[in-house]
Amino acid sequence: MKKLAIIALIAAGFAGGAYGAGNADAGKGKAAACGACHGADGNSLVPNFPKLAGQHPAYLVKQLADFKSGARSDASMAPMVAALNRQDMEDLAAFFAGQTQSGGKGDPELAALGERIYRGGNPDSGVAACSACHGPAGEGNPAANFPKIGGQHAAYVAKALNDFKSGARSNDLNKMMRGVASKMTAEEIKAVAEFVAGLH
Going by pLDDT thresholds of 50, 70 and 90, the confidence category of residue 17 is very low
| Average pLDDT of the residues in 130-157 | 98
- Dihedral angle sign, alpha carbons of residues 116, 181, 127, 185: positive
Q: Where are the alpha helices (DSSP H) in 31-107?
A: 35-38, 57-69, 77-81, 86-97
Instruction: Kindly state whether residue 14 falls inside one of the protein's structural domains.
Output: no
- Contact status, residue 130 vs residue 164, Cβ threshold 8 Å: no
Residue type, 80: M
- Say if residue 117 is in the same domain as residue 193: yes
Q: How far apart, in whole angstroms, are the C-alpha atoms of residue 53 and residue 104?
A: 13
Mean pLDDT score of the chain, rounded to an integer? Answer: 91
Q: For the packed helices 186-197 and 108-120, what is the interaxial angle rounded to 10 degrees? A: 100
- pLDDT for res 10: 36
- Say if residue 117 is in the same domain as residue 175: yes
| Average pLDDT of the residues in 32-36 | 96
- pLDDT for res 179: 98
Using the predicted structure, report yes or no on whether residue 76 has a pLDDT greater than 80: yes
- pLDDT for res 21: 86
- pLDDT for res 99: 98
- pLDDT for res 200: 83
Residue type, 142: P
- pLDDT for res 146: 98
Q: How far apart, in whole angstroms, are the C-alpha atoms of residue 146 and residue 134?
A: 6
- By residue range, what is the domain housing residue 193? 108-197
C-alpha radius of gyration, the chain, whole number: 18
Count structural domains, the chain: 2
Phi, psi (degrees; rounded to nearest 5) at 92: -60, -45
Going by pLDDT thresholds of 50, 70 and 90, the confidence category of residue 13 is very low
Phi, psi (degrees; rounded to nearest 5) at 171: -100, 25
Instruction: Kindly state whether residue 118 falls inside one of the protein's structural domains.
Output: yes
Instruction: Kindly state whether residue 2 falls inside one of the protein's structural domains.
Output: no
- pLDDT for res 6: 37
Biggest CA–CA distance in the chain, Å, is 63
- pLDDT for res 3: 42
- Return the bridge partners of 122, or none: 127
Length of the chain: 200
Q: How far apart, in whole angstroms, are the C-alpha atoms of residue 161 and residue 187?
A: 12
- Say if residue 86 is in the same domain as residue 137: no
- Tell me what percent of the residues of the chain surpass a pLDDT of 70: 90
Residue type, 118: Y
Instruction: Kindly state whether residue 60 falls inside one of the protein's structural domains.
Output: yes
| Average pLDDT of the residues in 162-174 | 97
Using the predicted structure, report yes or no on whether residue 4 has a pLDDT greater than 80: no
Model confidence pLDDT, tens digit, residues 138-150: 999 999 999 999 9
Model confidence pLDDT, tens digit, residues 84-119: 999 999 999 999 999 999 989 999 999 999 999 999
The CATH number linked to 184 is: 1.10.760.10
Q: How far apart, in whole angstroms, are the C-alpha atoms of residue 1 and residue 5?
A: 6
Going by pLDDT thresholds of 50, 70 and 90, the confidence category of residue 20 is low
Using the predicted structure, report yes or no on whether residue 15 has a pLDDT greater than 90: no
